[in-house]
Amino acid sequence: MTPSLVVIGSTNVDLFAQVTRHPTPGETILGSGGGRTAGGKGANQALAAGLQGAPVRFVGAVGDDGDARIALGSLEDADVDVTDVQVAEGQPTGLAIITVADDGENTIVVVPGANATVTPADARRAVEAMAQGDVLLMQGELSRTTTETAIRQAVAAGHRVILNVAPWGSLDGDVLTAADPLVLNEHEARQAVAELGLAGAHDSAGCARALREAGTPSVVVTLGPEGAVAVDADGETHVPSPRVQAVDTTGAGDAFTGALAARLLQGDNLRTAVAHAVRVGSYAVQHAGAQPSYPSLTQELP
């Protein structure tokens, strides 16, 4: 059987507002937009991987409301398997309130809703159903216990785990160092180094090296418009990003991580996978929204 990418994660509806600039605390400004699209870091990464040719199984939860249809629509259209997405009775589908300024930068408030009902037992069942060669992809929007349970069980069963700790949340050291790769942005990399009590890391590359030396098989730190740095047993490499005009950075990190996971599942080495993922992320920032900005295999990358 062809190996699959199993994503246990969050699914939300994204509510967008466009503003000329972000308001200061206590300030009210006028915006535009108000559109609702599918989102959630787990669903975003599952979709990005599926659009890049990976067979994907998504495990999560939606509410028993009208937003559930929006949240799952893009996944179903991309043939992502959503059989294991449960409906949480009496709970709303997760909601992300996103404000995007004219310079492309965003602020995001996430209301977990049904995502909070994904339990360690759900994670165990999902991992037990994984076949040989399947890869597990996790993020940081589910509960700590659910995330740690899934990763520990997958590692014990011999599965590769890709972990993107975003948004940042404290995880036990054995969970962080089990990731292959551990995918972080610059801020999260510094937090991971602090969490593990590592010293001597003064920049993103230094953080990646320190995490690798602490026992993590491979580490990828994304650098926004500067690309990404990757460290594994073959050494350290910096992959620059194509120069593009950013329209909206929402979900670009998820586009990167999903594309990276797809290429690693398909057998690429880390550097080749990162180089492709950087181009997918660069494509995404040129388009509005999260999931609507993700390219398929037929679209030309920068």
Q: Span 55-83, mean pLDDT?
A: 97
Summarize pLDDT for 146-158 with one digit per residue, the tens: 999 999 999 999 9
Does any domain span residue 97?
A: no
Task: Give the pLDDT confidence score for residue 100 in this predicted structure.
Answer: 87
Provide the token pair at 282. 């660069």
Task: Give the pLDDT confidence score for residue 1 in this predicted structure.
Answer: 77
Q: Span 183-199, mean pLDDT?
A: 94
User: pLDDT class for 108, splitting at 50, 70, 90?
Assistant: confident
Amino acid at residue number 49: A
Provide the token pair at 16. 């967008």
Task: Considering the candidates 102, 232, 254, 268, report the single residue annotated as catalytic.
Answer: 254
User: pLDDT class for 165, splitting at 50, 70, 90?
Assistant: very high
How far is it, in rounded angstroms, from Cα 104 to Cα 97? 16
222 closest CA partner among 288, 289, 268, 277: 277
Does any domain span residue 29?
A: no
Provide the token pair at 60. 């999560």
Does any domain span residue 169?
A: yes
| CA-to-CA dists, residue 211 to 96, 140, 179, angstroms | 31, 18, 11
Task: Give the pLDDT confidence score for residue 200 in this predicted structure.
Answer: 72
Provide the token pair at 191. 């937090």
Task: Give the pLDDT confidence score for residue 35 in this predicted structure.
Answer: 86
How far is it, in rounded angstroms, from Cα 49 to Cα 52? 5
What residues pair up with 228 in beta bridges, in sequence order?
Answer: 222, 239
Total structural domains within the chain: 1
Does any domain span residue 148?
A: yes
Q: Span 237-254, mean pLDDT?
A: 92
Does any domain span residue 101?
A: no
Contact 257/278 with Cβ under 8 angstroms?
Answer: no
How far is it, in rounded angstroms, from Cα 218 to Cα 178? 9
Residues whose CB falls within 8 Å of the CB of residue 280, separated by 6 or more in sequence, listed in order: 48, 52, 255, 256, 258, 259, 294, 295, 301
Angle between helices 67-77 and 41-51 (to 10 degrees): 20
Does any domain span residue 134?
A: yes
Task: Give the pLDDT confidence score for residue 176 in this predicted structure.
Answer: 96
| CATH number, residue 123 | 3.40.1190.20
Task: Give the pLDDT confidence score for residue 250 in this predicted structure.
Answer: 84
How far is it, in rounded angstroms, from Cα 278 to Cα 224? 9
Contact 182/204 with Cβ under 8 angstroms?
Answer: no
User: pLDDT class for 248, splitting at 50, 70, 90?
Assistant: confident
Does any domain span residue 98?
A: no
User: pLDDT class for 224, splitting at 50, 70, 90?
Assistant: very high
Contact 232/209 with Cβ under 8 angstroms?
Answer: no
Provide the token pair at 97. 């309130």
> 54-68, 96-110, 214-228, 272-286: lowest mean pLDDT where?
96-110
Domain interval for residue 75: 5-11+41-91+114-293
- Cα first-last separation, the chain: 33
Q: Which residue has the tokens 């929007």?
A: 141
Helical (H) or strand (E) element with 160: strand 160-164
**φ and ψ at 154, to 5 degrees?**
-65, -45
User: pLDDT class for 106, splitting at 50, 70, 90?
Assistant: confident
Q: Span 106-116, mean pLDDT?
A: 92
Share of the chain above pLDDT 90, in %: 89
- For the question of residue 254 being annotated catalytic, the response is yes
Does any domain span residue 47?
A: yes
